[in-house]
Amino acid sequence: MGDTLTVTSPHDGSVVGEVPLGDAAAVETALATAHGLYQDRDGWLPLHQRVDILQRLAELMAAQEEDLARLAAAEGGKPLVDSRVEASRATDGIRLCIETIRTEGGSVIPVQGTAGGAGRVAFTTKEPIGVVVAISAFNHPLNLIVHQVAAAVAAGCPVIVKPAEDTPLSCQRFVELVHEAGLAPEWCQFLMPADLGLAEALVTDERVGFFSFIGSARVGWMLKAKLAAGTRCALEHGGAAPAFVAADADLDIAVPSILKGGFYHAGQVCVSVQRVFVDQSVVRDFLDRLVAGVQDLTVGDPLDESTEVGPLIRAGEVDRVHEWVQAAREAGAEVACGGTPLDLGEGQYYEPTVLIHPPADARVSTHEIFGPVVCVYTMDDLDDAIAQANSLEVAFQAAVFTKDIDLALRVSRHIDASAVMVNDHTAFRVDGMPFAGLRQSGLGVGGIPYTIHDMQIEKMLVLKSGALGTL
| Per-residue pLDDT, 344 | 86
Contact between residue 187 and residue 179 where contact means Cβ atoms under 8 Å apart: no
385: left (phi over 0), alpha (psi -120 to 50) or beta: alpha
- Is there a domain that residue 73 lies in? yes
Distance of alpha carbon 369 from alpha carbon 273, whole angstroms: 10
216 and 72 share one domain: yes
Distance from CA of residue 412 to its chain's centroid?
Answer: 22
- Is there a domain that residue 379 lies in? yes
202 and 303 share one domain: no
| Per-residue pLDDT, 1 | 43
187 and 259 share one domain: no
- Is there a domain that residue 150 lies in? yes
Instruction: Tell me what the pLDDT averaged over the chain comes to.
Output: 96
| Amino acid identity for residue 382 in this structure | L
Distance of alpha carbon 438 from alpha carbon 443, whole angstroms: 7
Which one of 270, 308, 317, 351 is the catalytic residue?
Answer: 270
451 and 386 share one domain: no
Q: What is the pLDDT of residues 416-466, one digit of tens each?
A: 999 999 999 999 999 999 999 999 999 999 999 999 999 999 999 999 998
- pTM, whole model, 2 decimals? 0.94
Of 275, 293, 265, the C-alpha closest to 364 is: 275
- Is there a domain that residue 252 lies in? yes
Comparing 38-47, 80-89, 118-127, 462-471, which segment has the lowest mean pLDDT? 462-471
> Which DSSP symbol is given to 46?
P
Range of the domain at 186: 4-237+441-461
129 and 256 share one domain: no
Comparing 90-99, 189-198, 242-251, 341-350, which segment has the lowest mean pLDDT? 341-350
390 and 447 share one domain: no
Write the DSSP string, 210-243.
EEEEES-HHHHHHHHHTPPTT-EEEEE----EEE
Q: How many CA atoms lie within 13 A of 377 on its CB side?
A: 23
Residue 210 is part of a domain; what is its CATH number?
Answer: 3.40.605.10
Q: How far apart are the first and last CA of the chain?
A: 62
> Which DSSP symbol is given to 266?
G
Q: What is the pLDDT of residues 376-420, one digit of tens each?
A: 999 999 999 999 999 999 999 999 999 999 999 999 999 999 999
Contact between residue 396 and residue 261 where contact means Cβ atoms under 8 Å apart: no
Pairing of strands 273-279, 373-379: parallel
- Is there a domain that residue 428 lies in? no
3-class DSSP assignment, residue 244: strand
Residue 108 pLDDT level (bands cut at 50, 70, 90): very high
Which one of 157, 171, 188, 236 is the catalytic residue?
Answer: 236
- Is there a domain that residue 429 lies in? no
pLDDT score of 167 more than 90? yes
The values of phi and psi at residue 154, to 5°, are -60, -40
Contact between residue 71 and residue 90 where contact means Cβ atoms under 8 Å apart: no
Q: What is the pLDDT of residues 320-354, one digit of tens each?
A: 999 999 999 999 999 999 999 998 877 799 999 99
30 and 120 share one domain: yes
- Is there a domain that residue 434 lies in? no
Residue 5 pLDDT level (bands cut at 50, 70, 90): very high
Write the DSSP string, 270-316.
TT-EEEEEEETTTHHHHHHHHHHHHHT--BS-TTSTT-SB---SSHH
CB neighbour list of residue 196: distance below 8 Å, 6 or more residues apart: none
98 and 116 share one domain: yes
Contact between residue 61 and residue 90 where contact means Cβ atoms under 8 Å apart: yes
Residues linked to residue 18 through DSSP beta bridges, in sequence order: 6
Q: What is the pLDDT of residues 138-161, one digit of tens each?
A: 999 999 999 999 999 999 999 999
219 and 249 share one domain: no
3-class DSSP assignment, residue 89: helix
377 and 451 share one domain: no
Q: What is the pLDDT of residues 111-128, one digit of tens each?
A: 988 988 999 999 999 999
Distance of alpha carbon 388 from alpha carbon 392, whole angstroms: 8
| Per-residue pLDDT, 347 | 76
304 and 202 share one domain: no
Residue 382 is part of a domain; what is its CATH number?
Answer: 3.40.309.10
Number of structural domains in the chain: 2
Distance of alpha carbon 346 from alpha carbon 15, whole angstroms: 13
Residue 188 annotated to the active site: no
Distance of alpha carbon 88 from alpha carbon 69, whole angstroms: 9
374 and 261 share one domain: yes
- Is there a domain that residue 152 lies in? yes
Residue 97 annotated to the active site: no
| Per-residue pLDDT, 2 | 55
